[in-house]
Amino acid sequence: MILLALIPLFLYMLILFYFSIGYRRLSIFKGCENTQGSRFSILIPFRNEREHLPALLQSLALLNYPKNNFEIWMIDDDSSDDSVAMIRAFISENADLQMHLINNERKTNSAKKDAILSALELSNFDWIMTTDADCLLPENWLQLFDQAIKKHKPVLLAAPVMYSKIEQTLLDQTQFFEFLSLQIITMGAFGLGKPFMCNGANLCYQKTTFSSLKGFEGNEDFAGGDDLFLLEKMTEHFPERVHFIKHNDCLVQTNTENSWSSFFSQRIRWAAKSGGYRQIIGKLTGLIVFSCNLTLIVLVLISVFYPETWGLALLGFFLKLLTDLALLMNGKTLFKKPISLFYFFVTSLIYLFLNVSIGCRSLFGFTWKERRYQK
């Protein structure tokens, strides 16, 4: 009977091996002639981001792309700090940039989707780029996307995101290993032709196609999901025209959360979107990961009362460790981040309980940007 409980573990090993194959199938992007002809509207919602805005604004100013071929829309979502004043000062000092500052027009339960729509309706160019206010953009960001547009003729392009600075602390390392695995699984799914995840901090899509598919219509009740649900729509209607740019030069950098509570809250918010998945592979992956972690926790608890089962629990955990490590090693070249085996082991123990807690807690809503959202 206990051996049957290991079925989720074997399914877990199988699906991660499946994504590893997909990751290897997804080749490193090789650019084409750099025409710099695509024109981009960069949309950046923000709310009380004074701490992160200086770095973002500096990276926008340093973008290596013709200034007349991109515009920037900063959308204020009711900030109460001096974020707005900071952006106004930047606009006045950088007259060569086509930067606009507008207010978010709230219409739905999703402040972020409302912010994107507020700017999208005013935007002048056909390629919409989205990122976040706490991000750093690479210098050749738009060049890589321009080349991918010329090469693939897409309707949607996704690209990698990674933490800019990862401290040797338990909190940062836990976030790093979890986020790295998400990035590899994302690319693996694209490589298999079954994309179900992407990150709105590094996303590009065609405005005309977005409008023809009625954009975010159908998932307005979800506070997030401006990236995932749009990916699902685009994939459903144009499966051959959705691509991932696997290249370090278009990697957007973001920040780790600075406390366990904020990290936990962020992951609850992410998990809350899973109820809106339409693609089976997305639902199945989440269910298998949750079931595997829960199974190992239960086996450990059983072992406390039945010591003869300790060997089985340790075997299960060891197999999961090897499977996770094999997945993570796939991303070593692209992301160029060192992997500490000590922190990997410790955070793997923590993640068993973290994943199960987040999965359960996400059923009861979450708080984001000082606002409460119900499931």
Show me where the domains of the chain are located.
30-176+195-259
The backbone region for 351, taken as left when phi is positive above 0, alpha when psi lies in -120 to 50, beta otherwise, is alpha
- CA-CA distances (angstroms) from residue 179 to 173, 254, 295, 303, 343? 10, 11, 22, 31, 14
What is the model's pLDDT at position 220? 64
Per-residue pLDDT, 274: 66
pTM for the predicted model, two decimal places: 0.92
Beta bridge partners of 366: 373
Nearest to 66 by CA among 87, 93, 39, 91: 39
Q: Please report, in tens digits, the pLDDT of each residue of the chain (375 residues total).
A: 566 778 999 999 999 999 999 999 999 998 776 677 899 999 999 999 999 999 999 999 999 999 999 999 999 998 999 999 999 999 999 999 999 999 988 877 788 889 999 999 999 999 999 999 999 999 999 999 999 999 999 999 999 999 999 999 999 999 999 999 999 999 999 999 999 999 999 999 999 999 999 888 877 666 666 788 899 999 999 999 999 999 999 999 999 999 999 999 888 887 876 666 677 888 899 999 999 999 999 988 888 888 888 888 898 999 999 999 999 999 988 999 999 999 999 999 999 999 999 888 877 665 655 555 555
Largest CA distance in the chain: 72
What pLDDT sits at residue 66?
95
For position 263, what pLDDT does the model report?
92
C-alpha–C-alpha distance, residues 187 and 23, integer Å? 5
State how far the Cα of 321 lies from the Cα of 345, in Å rounded to an integer. 8
What's the pLDDT at 345? 96
Q: Is the dihedral of CA 286, 256, 184, 10 positive or negative?
A: negative
User: In whole angstroms, what is the distance from residue 309 CA to residue 113 CA?
Assistant: 49
* DSSP label at residue 12: H
Q: Which CATH architecture is the domain 30-176+195-259 placed in?
A: Alpha-Beta Complex (3.90)
DSSP-assigned letters across all residues of 94-130: -TTS-EEEEE----SS-HHHHHHHHHHTT--SSEEEE
Q: List the beta bridge partners of residue 101.
A: 74
- Per-residue model confidence (pLDDT) at position 228: 85
Length of the chain measured in residues? 375
pLDDT of residue 160: 97
Contacts of 41 (CB under 8 A, 6+ apart): 70, 71, 73, 119, 120, 123, 124, 125, 127, 128, 129, 207
